[in-house]
Structure 1
Amino acid sequence: MDKSKSAKTPGLTANEQQEVHKNQPPRAAVVHEIIRVQGDKELQRTATALWWSALAAGLSMGLSLMAMGLLRARLEGVEGAHAIACIGYSAGFLAVILARQQLFTENTLTAVLPVMNKPSPGNFARLGKLWSVVLLGNLAGTLLVAYVMLHLPIFDAATDAAFLDIGRKLMESDSGQMFAKGIVSGWMIATMVWMIPAQEQAKVWIIVMVTSLMALGDFTHIVVGSVEAFYLVFAGELAWVDYWLVFAMPTLAGNIVGGSFIFALISHAQVRSDVELQEAQREERQARLESKESQG
């Protein structure tokens, strides 16, 4: 007798049983395949399409600094103002993900899974092209939005001061801390990307929860952090060499390690092990069936 069937709750109708199955979360292998297919589509896009989408994402990420600065300036002196302002960090991510724009740290998971599934030279070349174009597009967008936010008469003095304070807080960490915090940030973004296909109806809440925690923990993100750092550069408070050596390169390396080498590898290994086990069980059942048929 099938143990799984004997363990069912008695008295359920066929429709109720169907409802139970319908409400089961997808298996890890299903989530893996959804993300792999998305990543494969991204790898097939032209460099021009990737560039414009990535540039738009970099511009959209300015919303994170904008929202945090506005909240900090308006809530000054209010208890818990910092925690509330950290929710504003989610604004850029919501815009980018809901608008399906190209964000580099998302691609450390989605575009990596097809390469892990089929590690051919062609796939590695496509991944390198995608990462290069998207990263450059993201940084170009953050450069432009930071310049506009500083030099155009958009915000009041209190908000401008809040933007500077946010950038100064970012640059308090040394390169080693930037790298370590970047690992956590890359891992959190990859976790978020993995969670969304399983709970699509809760996408907004997942994005807000994960990215707000990133802000609370001061974890470094190459794209959002570039808006903050570029703002300091244009304000004359940060040298270009410090942007690259202290912030950008260590943070970028950390994001890649956390998103690709840790989360993606572990997730792929988990699913691969499940698939191999299922294939072994299927082969064993087939062998038993053939054995019975030959005996009969």
Structure 2
Amino acid sequence: MAAHDHAQARSELGDSDGPQEDQLQEAFDAIVSEGAQRLHRTWREVLTTGLAGGIEVAVGVLVLFAVYAETGSHLLAGLAFSVGFIALALARSELFTEGFLVPVTAVAAGRGSLAQLGKLWSGTLVGNLVGGWLLMWLVVQAFPDLRATAITSATHFVDAPLDLQSASLAFLAGIGITLMTRMQHGTTSDVAKIVAAVVGALVLAGLQLFHSILDSLIVFAALHAGAPFGYGDWAAWFWYTTLLNMAGGLFVVTLLRLVRSKDMLQRERADAAA
């Protein structure tokens, strides 16, 4: 149902709270529409958009390495990494950790199934990792002076024990990336979306939160560069980071948005069942 139809329905029922509610409804409708489109992609579309997303994040990692090597500042390197998130936003590629708010809302609204959500998540995750792994190999070959920077950066993640601090860093990363998604879907302005991407990059990369895709690409670069650890060390870090990213994104930002949109979800499910 179009946004103006929802607004008319609310007006007739006398439950419209004015312009703010209308804006929330428009944002909700846009999220459901985009989420349904993403959920109904074929495997080919899911994998290719995931590959593209991994490549774009890898470009951001390249710039992150270059700036960190020159400045030694994680905050400046995090700002530089925003190139990757800006590319994702403008090119409309797919990042695994950006799949928590939008497609989940579409499923809750009855516009997609859990099986489709599983396909989107698994295909995007594989595509991100494969695309990122390939481009990080190319980066290491093209910029051998950055190899030491890659190994130093990756050590922060693979050497981290599974304790409360590591779990908190991964949980916060899930909240941060999903909040960035929420901000970008709350506006139609490309400038505002870019600002949200820069803020997201500063929080995630600048503060070295544990992000399953971004930091995996850093580790892949280090492995290509001959790091003194292996893929087993990466996997030992990756499994809990991925689960906690999902927990932070789903049980904080997404859940709050779904609770806030309860009435809209009920109307949408009724429309979907009609």
Question: Normalised by the shorter chain, which TM-score bucket?
Answer: 0.7 to 0.9
- Alignment counterpart, residue 45 of structure 1, candidates 36, 41, 45: 41
| Structure 2 letter corresponding to 1:62 | A
SS at match of 2:99: helix
Aligned to 1:63: 59
Equivalent residues, number: 246
Question: 5+ residue gaps in structure 2?
Answer: 1-17, 267-274
| Mapping of residues 143-162 of structure 1, within 5 Å | 143-150=133-140, 152=141, 154-157=142-145, 159-162=146-149
Q: What do residues 138-167 of structure 1 show as CA deviations (whole Å, max 9, x unaligned)?
A: 1111111222222x2x2252x322222211
Aligned to 1:173: 160
| Structure 2 letter corresponding to 1:161 | A
Q: Percent identity?
A: 25
Q: What do residues 181-224 of structure 1 show as CA deviations (whole Å, max 9, x unaligned)?
A: 22211111111111123233211111101221222322111111
| Structure 2 letter corresponding to 1:242 | D
Cα deviation for residue 257 of structure 1 reads 0.7
Aligned to 1:4: none
Whether the 8 Å contact between 2:59 and 2:84 is mirrored in structure 1 is: yes
Q: Distance in 1 between matches of 2:180 and 2:49?
A: 20
Cα deviation for residue 52 of structure 1 reads 0.8
TM superposition score normalised by structure 1: 0.76
Q: Distance in 1 between matches of 2:52 and 2:265?
A: 38
Whether the 8 Å contact between 1:103 and 1:134 is mirrored in structure 2 is: yes
Q: Distance in 1 between matches of 2:120 and 2:177?
A: 18
| Mapping of residues 1-80 of structure 1, within 5 Å | 27-76=23-72
Aligned to 1:9: none
Q: 2:224 aligned with 1:236, yes or no?
A: no
Question: 5+ residue gaps in structure 1?
Answer: 1-20, 277-296
Cα deviation for residue 101 of structure 1 reads 0.5
RMSD over aligned CA atoms reads: 2.4
Aligned to 1:267: 257
Q: Distance in 2 between matches of 1:74 and 1:236?
A: 21
| Structure 1 letter corresponding to 2:214 | V
SS at match of 2:261: helix
Structure 1's consecutive aligned runs of 4 or more residues displaced over 6 angstroms after TM superposition are none
State which structure, 1 or 2, has the greater radius of gyration over its C-alpha atoms. 1
Whether the 8 Å contact between 1:69 and 1:160 is mirrored in structure 2 is: no
Whether the 8 Å contact between 1:43 and 1:111 is mirrored in structure 2 is: yes
Q: Distance in 2 between matches of 1:54 and 1:108?
A: 15
TM superposition score normalised by structure 2: 0.82
